[in-house]
Amino acid sequence: LIEEPSGNHFGMTQNAGMGWNPAELLRKQFIILSTVGGVKAEDGSPIALGLHTGHFELRDMVVAAAEEFKELKSIPFAAFCSDPCDGRTQGTTGMLDSLPYRNDAAQVFRRIARSLPTVRGVLGIASCDKGLPAMMMALAGLPDQPGVIVPGGTTLKPNIGEDAAEIQSIGARFAQGEVTLEYAQDVGCRSCASPGGGCQFLGTAGTSQVVAEALGLAITHSALAPSGTPAWFDIARRSARALVAMERKGVTSQDILVDAAFENAMAVHAACGGSTNLLIHVPAIAHAAGRRRMTVSDWSRVNSHVPRLVDVLPNGPVGHPTTQLYAAGGVPEVMLHLRKMGLIDTTLLTSTGQTLGENLDWWEDSERRHDVRQYLRDVDGIDPDDVIMSPDRAKAKGLTSTVTFPMGNITPEGSVIKSTAIDPAVVDDDGVYRKTGPARVFRSERAAMGAIKSRDEDHKIKAGDIMVVTCGGPLGTGMEEVYQLTAALKYLSYGKQVALITDARFSGVSTGACIGHVGPEALAGGPIGRVRDGDVIEIVVDRKNLSGSVNLVGVDGVVKGADWGTTELESRPEPDDLAPHPQLPDDTRLWAALQAASGGTWGGCVFDVDTIVEVIDAGRKALGR
């Protein structure tokens, strides 16, 4: 009573008021942060829906972790900040808040944790595209606290029907007469075969779970567990135990999130064929941790020497669901291969309290490894070594490295393509994708989607077209995802013959000849905004050597070369129809301005406070304010 502030006293009063045993009020306190959404009845039926399956069952994980904390004679607290669904918001104004939400949620989670000043550690439970990166940024931004991430797992793939990626193209296929209404009605209700977990493919949600484990923030073999299963509950309990042990040993997130941990994460991302959105999220986590933000050169370097080893949706060649990647051994199995190749640092400390090398030694000889891999053989009839492959087997099956960063007169600051996911049918025998064709220019995703769905021969997208979709960067839409475009091109019968170039982002499940993150964006004066209908564009992507180019080379069917294109783009005036989305929220406009001052897209779309203050001060002086 003499030495503690009144807030600590009143906190104990509150704890007793909520029903905690007064005799236990001085026990160590841990907080569980989660993106829980929706309300379930005791029988599992929905009382109120969440925004997506990824957070609908997370309350069960929170309960399991809290019970474990109680068993360990600690006091658990729980607080929530739910998250949106990028699938639900595709093509809608909801997408204008998607990426900005990540920064906001990370701040909220950090503020909540700091608002419990007696807390001794933070457990973060999240599953999906923005909630999990936000949670990792939050824990990274609490460097003096022990922190453990609990990946929220994945939903099951239906035995009959379409997965959660393919179903998102159903509107375009129906519009073009490729499926019936009855078919759409049937498969649309089957794609999510369980009520919890992130999508069944290695999109942004799944890749974020993989990265959390690769960083050492999540315990061994915790990413991508099937939601609601005994293994999934066990992960929550073991993570709580790991956090208590970290606190006892004095280990914090700062001890885990060292620069080399981010190198490991990039290597695992490349080996798995991860989402291009992690090129934004991983630098943001590094920035929150006070570490060096990786650059395009870093990603290119890693992808040049780390082969893709994993066959998982959406990349193929077979395209196993993420639950089968988990059963094949998940992240630790991938890292065993990378260790043999000398591509990861195994001396780093992890949230298990052991080094990565010690974790992998345990995994290699563990019953858990034997059991899950045997389950995959016995129940699914799949050889786990066909899901997570040795380098030689991967090469023999035609797997190529994950991403390429094409440059050119349309993309002078860079762009990205998941080159490993280009349809092999349109790749030449030397491993190079080459396409020269007419530009079809659109100032919005909606206009582009209208052309894909159109049956008007003069308006519809045709095989051979190169779609150029602008005003989709941070200043235009908050850097929206345009997955409904890439999904349509993947699943329409002629889609592989169409290419897409945009300053927007792609969903992690996007595939095909789709080039995004084009910089500078159109609204920042980028040359992509000066491309016109009928311009001749040349795209070259070397999937083996990971090089590429995107150039204006001609006009009206006449090829004049890239040098001509550079001069032509520089001489063209800014079009008067370039504009942000008319419903862009002020919240997102502010986010776009702050991240632009902090390094922009390639810097992770973060808020670099020192730089922002410097820019504001310089602006005030220049304006005389």
Which active-site residues does the annotation give? 507
CA atoms within 13 A on the CB side of 34: 27
The residues, ordered by sequence, that sit 6+ positions from 164 with a Cβ below 8 Å of its Cβ are 87, 155, 191, 192, 199, 200, 201
Output the furthest CA–CA distance in the chain (Å, rounded). 85
Residue with tokens 């475009």: 485
Q: Is the dihedral of CA 59, 61, 67, 72 positive or negative?
A: negative
Distance CA 516, CA 411 (A): 10
Find the DSSP H helices in 1-97: 6-17, 53-56, 58-71
Q: Which amino acid is at 63?
A: V
The conformation of residue 422, written as its DSSP 8-state character, comes to S
Distance CA 523, CA 580 (A): 8
Distance CA 473, CA 524 (A): 9
Is beta strand 46-48 parallel, antiparallel or unpaired with respect to 39-40? antiparallel
Distance CA 395, CA 397 (A): 5
**CA-based nearest residue to 448, from 465, 433, 423:** 465
Burial letters for 600-609: b for 16+ Cβ neighbours within 10 Å, e otherwise? bbbbbbbbbe
User: Which tokens belong to 520?
Assistant: 């500078």
Q: Give me the torsion for CA of 537, 533, 474, 200, rounded to 10°.
A: -70
How far, in whole angstroms, is CA 361 from its chain's centroid? 29
**Distance linking the first and last C-alpha atoms of the chain:** 48
The residues, ordered by sequence, that sit 6+ positions from 247 with a Cβ below 8 Å of its Cβ are 28, 30, 120, 121, 146
Residue with tokens 């595709």: 90
DSSP string, 398-427: T---S-B--BSSS-TTEEEB-GGGS-GGGB
